Amino acid sequence: MPRKAVPQHALEGAVLALWKLARPRGCEGAEWWIGRAHTTYIPIGFHFDQDVKGRQLRHPVISSVFFFNRVRGGQLAVTDQVPGSAGPSRLEAVAPRRNRYAMFRGDLLHGVLDARGRTPRRRMEGPPGRLRITLVVNFWKRRPTGVPTWRESGLYRALSLRR
């Protein structure tokens, strides 16, 4: 979503509101998506946000997560590890609570903890529990390679203000 874009739906309106809170300097756009996962099965491990299709290693200026609901486990865990360093020496966790907004430097290793507050290894046995729902927003100086706008993507069509 370009910085000066007119929101196409309520979530892009939320992205602009979060932009005011994050105050990222020199950013031309925001990349956003809706995160949905049961904390008994976290589908993505610890990772660095980066331009995966670009020729050069680039990271967002700020990565952020807005929590829509409270769940058991599902903490956002952010380390102090940057790409190329030996490993993390520190980890901070943010519990999912309704309307909580967490921001961190875009080049830090991070992930989601499971229902027990541990690094996920595999699907946990038993019922899936409550769905963790987030709005993830990364603020970029330059648009990541090959990332479409919402209208170009064809995703989340039900969000459209024009029906």
Domain boundaries, the chain: 10-159
Q: What is the pLDDT of residues 35-85, one digit of tens each?
A: 999 999 999 999 999 998 888 899 999 999 999 999 999 999 999 999 999
Q: Is 50 exposed, middle or buried (0-12, 13-18, 19+ CB in 10 A)?
A: middle
Closest CA to 136 of 67, 53, 58, 60: 67
State the pLDDT at residue 58. Answer: 94
State the pLDDT at residue 40. Answer: 95
- CATH topology classification for 10-159: Jelly Rolls (2.60.120)
Closest CA to 65 of 34, 107, 108: 34
**pTM of structure:** 0.91
At residue 162 the predicted structure's pLDDT band, cuts being 50, 70 and 90, is: low
Q: What is the pLDDT of residues 100-139, one digit of tens each?
A: 999 999 999 999 999 999 999 889 898 888 899 999 999 9
**Rounded mean pLDDT, 4-8:** 90
Q: Is 139 helix (H, G, I), strand (E, B) or coil?
A: strand
State the pLDDT at residue 154. Answer: 77
